[in-house]
């Protein structure tokens, strides 16, 4: 009885929260069907006639010679490459931290975890200098390389190695004559697949949404990822009004891959959030 | 050899003749090309600048322009600061708003353009714009690009309906406010106070001769945000707000555009780029029977005429540029040539800083916006007059962002009635002063 009423309350609360979180998304869906004038002068949460959805699509896809596709492609390139490398490195480092005992292990691990606490803005300047000095400024590597290390990914991977790959298995494999690389690739990787997908997703989304790093290291509109490109369109220059509805549509298209990844791979997200929680 | 020379001369003469015919009274300087092939990196958020730059390269094929749009002032400054501090990674040319120039002068990031012959260009620009790029009256740190002198956008239909004359002075403005409120039972406000944009308020004070900042010869600063003019302007608007004659909707939001289109606001003090944003934001939905027009900014007294400036920007050359000569040619051409000015107007709605640019017929086409939106009125001439009347002596300080943040805060308190508008101005002065000192500036308060 009490249980049932508690769950009703839970549903009500969750329902309210869902509305709270979905309302901005709904606003986006409504807004992409309007033009600037309607955006400014009609009720924000309902549609206005005539529809301008097709005009907005046209604007997004043709503005500046159709550069939108290029930005979208760049975002995919940066996110996929950086996330793949970051996952690989995190998996390897996590393996090392989990399976080997070496001098300074816990100190190093704490140190790496500590870097999570450093805000990205504080790192921006050193990264900028580094990129400048090695001559990578204004190349795709300036965006990709700094994002191939993920302390949080490392932490997750170590937890996965600890939980999903028993030390006994490692010892048994070693006894059978397998070297470390074989253990890692042949035995380990298949067992921690879930962890790999999780870390990949987290990094992918982080790179996809990263605005500041590309802002400070790129100097060519053709290399911009989507968020940076759209910001350029939205820049308020006195005397002209940005095509806001088209930009909102561009942003909507830009978050679709993330929404899809959440829908299809949602269980890995949960795995990422709860890993370590059960470890005593 | 000789014949070739003759032919070249003849061709040249014809070119000059046809050029001068096409340009009627338009005066532009001689542009001298530089040697060799050059690519310039330009950071700017002017819409369509890539097209304007293409026009430039057509004329000077050895200079290519890489336009980078980082997304507006805040982002561009963020990046530029980083590059200046790092000593590398800065572009050849950057767009900087007038109010932000002192920040970059302070960090020694910009080329003194006198070394590239900028002094000869002074006469091509409206005098106040030159003072903006040469705040110490010596070094020249930028070429003025676009401007935002103030005038008054108003709804002619509202004034007609209530049979109230369009105000020419601030006294008339206040009286019209009272009358409008009475006749419309408080439904229609005479104007709107943009409490979240200090540069708007500063422009109003500027128009009445107020000064906010001054730098001494030894590099120290004097800040007078609470000068008597500033306080008088704040009190004037504050009284109207308290009486319910003036609204306080934030600029550039539906909260402002909706009542504007609905006929609940009769005027708005707007910069020269205001008509463009009105047309861009309201063209499809101007409101029932709305007639938008532009008139001079209300004055202190009949017969006097002055204005202030809100917005606008300059083009600078960074000290990291490897091709300052070519960069100078580009920013000179961009802001003094007819092609550059017209292209910037068509693509980005830039209201020029160049004297000759203000008279261009291309800006006045009654069949396209913004003029079309204003019933075909020649709004440009109103703003041209305004620009000529902007007080020349006005300079900024490197901590403008701090002043801007504090302003929004104290004005919110004044609007809520927790402090008076004059107290708000005093707090604006004190808190901004403290903030500037915290950032290491030697600055005294003064009157």
User: Is B7 within the bounds of a domain?
Assistant: no
- Do B164 and B282 lie in one domain? The reply is yes
Q: Does B270 touch chain A (CB under 8 A)?
A: no
Print the domain residue range for B233. 149-308+392-445
- Do B140 and B193 lie in one domain? The reply is no
Q: Which domains does chain A have, with CATH numbers?
A: 64-274 (1.10.3720.10)
* CATH number of the domain enclosing B363: 3.40.190.10
Q: A158-195 pLDDT, tens per residue?
A: 999 998 888 888 889 888 888 889 999 988 998 898 89
Q: Which residues of A touch B315 (CB under 8 A)?
A: none
- Do B157 and B241 lie in one domain? The reply is yes
Q: How many CB pairs under 8 A join A and B?
A: 125
- Do B304 and B333 lie in one domain? The reply is no
Q: What is the pLDDT of residue B184?
A: 97
Query: Chain A window 218-257: which residues touch B at a Cβ cutoff of 8 Å?
Result: 219-221, 228, 231-232, 234-242
Q: Tell me, letter by letter, the H, E, C secondary structure of B339-372.
A: HHHHHHHHHHCCCECEHHHHCCHHHHCCCCCCCH
Q: What is the pLDDT of residue A35?
A: 87
User: What is the average pLDDT across B233-248?
Assistant: 97
User: Is B382 within the bounds of a domain?
Assistant: no
Q: Name the minimum distance, in Å, from the CA of A37 to any CA of chain B.
A: 5
Do residues B333 and B53 touch, judged by C-beta distance below 8 A?
A: no
pLDDT grade, residue B235 (50/70/90)? Answer: very high
Q: Is the pLDDT of residue B21 over 80?
A: no
| Coil, helix or strand at residue A100 | coil
- Please judge whether B46 and A237 are an interchain contact, meaning their C-beta atoms are less than 8 angstroms apart: yes
Which range among A264-268, B57-61, B151-155, B216-220 shows the weakest confidence by mean pLDDT? A264-268
What rounded mean pLDDT belongs to chain B?
A: 92
Q: Which residues of A touch B149 (CB under 8 A)?
A: none
Q: Last residue of some domain: B344, B376, B408? A: B376
Cα dist. B230→B201, B387, B426, B429 in Å? Answer: 9, 21, 10, 11
Query: Chain B window 83-102: which residues touch A at a Cβ cutoff of 8 Å?
Result: 83, 85-86, 88-89, 91
Q: What is the pLDDT of residue A280?
A: 37
Closest CA to A196 of A85, A108, A97: A85
Name residues whose C-beta falls within 8 Å of residue A91's C-beta, 6 or more positions apart in sequence.
A157, A189, A192, A195, A196, A199
- Please judge whether A239 and B146 are an interchain contact, meaning their C-beta atoms are less than 8 angstroms apart: yes
Of B75, B280, B347, the CB nearest to A231: B75
Cα nearest neighbour of A220 on chain B: B68
Of B50, B82, B348, the CB nearest to A216: B82
- Do B290 and B202 lie in one domain? The reply is yes
User: Is B16 within the bounds of a domain?
Assistant: no
User: Is B8 within the bounds of a domain?
Assistant: no
- Please judge whether A240 and B280 are an interchain contact, meaning their C-beta atoms are less than 8 angstroms apart: yes
- Do B291 and B339 lie in one domain? The reply is no
Q: B76-103 pLDDT, tens per residue?
A: 998 999 999 889 999 999 999 999 999 9
Cα nearest neighbour of A214 on chain B: B70
| Coil, helix or strand at residue A278 | coil
User: Is B177 within the bounds of a domain?
Assistant: yes
Provide the number of structural domains found in chain B.
Answer: 2
Q: Name the minimum distance, in Å, from the CA of A218 to any CA of chain B.
A: 9
- Please judge whether B272 and A239 are an interchain contact, meaning their C-beta atoms are less than 8 angstroms apart: yes
- Please judge whether B71 and A37 are an interchain contact, meaning their C-beta atoms are less than 8 angstroms apart: no
Q: Last residue of some domain: B325, B342, B376? A: B376
- Do B155 and B284 lie in one domain? The reply is yes
Q: B339-364 pLDDT, tens per residue?
A: 999 999 999 999 999 999 999 999 99
Q: Does A139 touch chain B (CB under 8 A)?
A: no
- Do B430 and B291 lie in one domain? The reply is yes
Place of tokens 């290519």: B64
Q: Which residues of B touch A128 (CB under 8 A)?
A: 82-83, 86, 89
- Do B302 and B317 lie in one domain? The reply is no
User: What is the average pLDDT across B407-422?
Assistant: 96
Q: Does B82 touch chain A (CB under 8 A)?
A: yes
Place of tokens 């890993």: A275
Torsion of CA B72, B407, B281, B341, to 10 degrees: -50
User: What is the average pLDDT across A237-254?
Assistant: 86
Closest CA to A27 of A257, A244, A205, A271: A244
Q: Is the pLDDT of residue B19 over 50?
A: no
User: Is B334 within the bounds of a domain?
Assistant: yes
- Do B294 and B182 lie in one domain? The reply is yes
- Do B184 and B265 lie in one domain? The reply is yes
- Please judge whether B71 and A128 are an interchain contact, meaning their C-beta atoms are less than 8 angstroms apart: no
User: What is the average pLDDT across B377-389?
Assistant: 97
User: Is B372 within the bounds of a domain?
Assistant: yes
User: Is B129 within the bounds of a domain?
Assistant: yes
Angle at A264 between CA A259 and CA A270, to 5 degrees: 90
Cα nearest neighbour of A64 on chain B: B48
Q: Name the minimum distance, in Å, from the CA of A70 to any CA of chain B.
A: 15
Cα nearest neighbour of A48 on chain B: B285
- Do B291 and B169 lie in one domain? The reply is yes
How far apart CA A254 and CA B49 sit, in angstroms, is: 25
Q: What is the pLDDT of residue A266?
A: 77
């Amino acid at each position: 009885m009490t249980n049932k009423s508690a769950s009703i309350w839970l549903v009500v609360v969750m329902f309210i929260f869902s509305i709270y979180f979905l309302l901005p998304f709904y606003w986006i869906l409504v807004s992409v069907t309007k033009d600037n004038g309607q955006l400014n002068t009609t009720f924000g949460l309902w549609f206005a006639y005539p529809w301008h959805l097709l005009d907005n699509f046209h604007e997004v896809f043709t503005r500046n010679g159709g550069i939108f596709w290029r930005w979208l492609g760049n975002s995919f390139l940066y996110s996929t490459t950086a996330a793949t490398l970051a996952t690989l490195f995190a998996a390897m480092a996590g393996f090392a931290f989990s399976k080997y005992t070496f001098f300074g292990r816990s100190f190093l691990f704490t140190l790496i975890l500590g870097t999570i606490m450093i805000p990205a803005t504080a790192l921006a300047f050193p990264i900028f200098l580094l990129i400048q000095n090695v001559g990578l400024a204004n190349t795709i590597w300036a965006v990709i390389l700094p994002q191939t290390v993920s302390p949080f990914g490392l932490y997750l991977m170590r937890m996965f190695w600890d939980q999903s790959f028993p030390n006994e298995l490692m010892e048994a494999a070693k006894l059978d004559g397998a070297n470390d690389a074989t253990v890692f690739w042949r035995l380990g990787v298949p067992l921690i697949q879930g962890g790999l997908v999780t870390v990949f997703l987290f990094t992918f989304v982080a790179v996809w949404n990263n605005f500041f790093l590309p802002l400070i290291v790129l100097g060519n509109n053709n290399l911009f990822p989507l968020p940076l490109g759209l910001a350029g369109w939205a820049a308020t220059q006195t005397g002209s009004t940005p095509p806001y509805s088209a930009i909102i549509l561009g942003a909507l298209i830009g978050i679709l891959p993330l929404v899809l990844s959440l829908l299809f791979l949602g269980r890995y997200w949960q795995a990422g959030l709860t890993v370590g929680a059960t470890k005593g | 050899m000789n014949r070739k020379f003759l032919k070249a001369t003849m061709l040249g003469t014809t070119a000059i003749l046809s050029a001068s015919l096409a340009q009627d009274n338009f005066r532009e300087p001689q542009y001298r090309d530089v040697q060799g092939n050059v690519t310039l990196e330009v950071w700017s958020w002017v819409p369509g600048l890539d097209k304007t730059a293409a026009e430039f390269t057509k004329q000077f094929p050895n200079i290519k322009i890489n336009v980078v749009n980082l997304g507006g002032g805040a982002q561009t400054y963020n990046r530029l600061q980083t590059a200046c501090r790092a000593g590398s990674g800065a572009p050849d040319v950057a767009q900087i708003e007038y109010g932000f120039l002192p920040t970059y002068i302070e960090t020694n990031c910009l080329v003194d353009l006198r070394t590239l012959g900028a002094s000869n260009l002074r006469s091509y620009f409206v005098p106040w714009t030159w003072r903006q790029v040469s705040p110490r009256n010596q070094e020249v740190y930028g070429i003025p690009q676009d401007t935002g002198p103030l005038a008054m956008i108003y709804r002619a239909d509202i004034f007609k309906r209530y049979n109230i004359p369009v105000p020419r002075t601030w006294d008339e403005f206040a009286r019209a406010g009272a009358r409008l409120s009475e006749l419309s039972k408080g439904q229609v406000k005479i104007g709107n106070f943009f409490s979240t944009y200090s540069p708007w308020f500063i422009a109003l004070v500027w128009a009445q001769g107020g000064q906010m900042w001054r730098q001494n010869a030894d590099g120290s600063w004097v800040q007078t945000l609470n000068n008597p003019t500033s306080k008088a302007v704040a009190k004037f608007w504050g009284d109207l707000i308290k009486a319910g004659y003036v609204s306080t909707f934030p600029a550039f939001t539906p909260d402002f555009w909706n009542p504007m289109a609905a006929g609940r606001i009769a005027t708005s003090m707007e910069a020269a780029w205001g008509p463009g944003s009105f047309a861009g934001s309201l063209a499809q939905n101007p409101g029932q029977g709305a007639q938008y027009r532009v008139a001079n900014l209300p004055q202190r007294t009949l017969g006097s005429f002055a204005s202030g400036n809100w917005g606008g920007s300059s083009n600078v050359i960074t000290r990291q540029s490897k091709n300052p000569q070519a960069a100078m040619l580009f920013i000179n051409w961009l802001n003094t040539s007819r092609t550059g000015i017209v292209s910037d107007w068509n693509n980005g709605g830039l209201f020029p800083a160049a004297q000759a640019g203000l008279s261009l017929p291309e800006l006045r086409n009654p069949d396209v916006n913004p003029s079309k939106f204003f019933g075909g009125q020649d709004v440009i001439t109103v703003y041209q007059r305004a620009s000529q009347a902007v007080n020349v002596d006005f300079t900024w300080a490197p901590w403008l962002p701090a002043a801007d943040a504090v302003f929004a805060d104290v004005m919110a308190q004044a609007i809520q009635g927790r402090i008076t508008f004059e107290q708000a101005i005093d707090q604006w002065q004190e808190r901004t002063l403290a903030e500037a000192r915290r950032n290491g500036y030697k600055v005294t308060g003064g009157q």
